[in-house]
Amino acid sequence: MQPLETATEPCALLRTGLVGKGIALSRTPAMHMAEAQGQGLCCDYRLHDMDAPENAGITLAQKLDQLEQLGYAGVNVTYPYKIAVIDHLTEMSENAAAVGAVNTVVFRDGKRCGHNTDLWGFAEGFRREFGNTGHDHALLVGAGGAGVAVAHALIDCGIARLSIHDTDPDRAAQLAHQVTRNRPGARAQITEDIAALIARDRPQGVVNATPMGMAKLPGSAFPVALLSADMWVADIVYFPLETELLRGARARGCRTLEGAGMAVYQAVRAFELFTGRPADPQRMKATFDAFDHETRILRP
């Protein structure tokens, strides 16, 4: 989408973008630019894939410096930088500081302020899909930058007890402690053996907050064979929209939540931070969903 101009004079160009790895299929640029167009703004939202050849040898710090010097209003940050980016900020919002992860950076008045819109984004999608059912016990797989936001969101959505699994047990333990500190009354524990947990204390639902399932990291961090029809399953990965985990869950009759919800609602909040204007969630979701329509046309 090209920057827009009014009939009489060009409008000021708002430059924003996404920094991460393996993000070529991201739908975020289209959502932001379509929403800007709908509001009569000019927005150029670009992907900065650190896996791309043009970024070879460039560090996260150098990329942030580069984009700030180019006059960007801000950037979204995704895997694997949501925690690493904190070292390159001048300040953080209250919720980003509490969560300990940042997915949105605003450049303003010579400062870099980090925000976390993932927490609200996941919670909004979760409430809309699952309401108040199956909230006694959930398993979160992944305690990284996205996992910390999802863990807090699950407690905020009424999950009474949260089990956390990560390939790094110390990181899972740190997140469990963080959640119980930030959310008084929350119950969080770590589990190093998913199969053993399912056998002795099966959760009602599972959330994948790892990058497993992305186009560049195929597979499932949760063993699909351990799912049963009475469980709900959520995935934060949205490219592809149907991950191996969600495909297996649907085949077993589970209720599922795609990564689309978190992707759309976190973008709604990020747009407001970049522009100072509220976004239209329905319009941004329609842009997100249009990708599936285009895919059906291309692959009848």
What is the distance between the alpha carbons of residues 130 and 176, in angstroms, rounded to a whole number? 23
The closest alpha carbon to 45, from 32, 27, 36, 56, belongs to 32
Closest Cα to residue 30, out of 286, 298, 293?
Answer: 286
Residue 12 has pLDDT above 90, yes or no: no
Token reading at 277: 């204007």
pLDDT higher for 37 or 294?
A: 37
What CA dihedral angle connects 206, 178, 200 and 140, to 10 degrees? 10
Return the pLDDT at 10: 64
pLDDT at residue 295 tops 80: no
Residues with a catalytic annotation lie at 82
Q: Label residues 195-219 b or e (16+ Cβ within 10 Å = b).
A: eebbeeeebbbbbbbbbbbbeeeee
Reported as a pLDDT band with limits 50, 70 and 90, residue 292 is: low
- Alpha-carbon distance of 69 to 55, in angstroms, equals 16
Specify the pairing of strand 205-208 against strand 232-235. parallel
- Catalogue all structural domains in the chain, each as residue range(s) with its CATH number: 13-116+263-290 (3.40.50.10860), 119-258 (3.40.50.720)
> 2 or 133: which carries more pLDDT confidence?
133
Strands (E), the chain: 13-20, 42-49, 74-77, 91-92, 104-108, 111-115, 137-141, 161-165, 187-190, 205-208, 232-235, 255-257
pLDDT at 131: 86
Question: Beta strands 205-208 and 137-141: pairing type?
Answer: parallel
Averaged pLDDT for residues 218-233: 97
Among the ranges given (39-43, 69-73, 128-132, 199-203), the one the predictor scored with the smallest mean pLDDT: 128-132
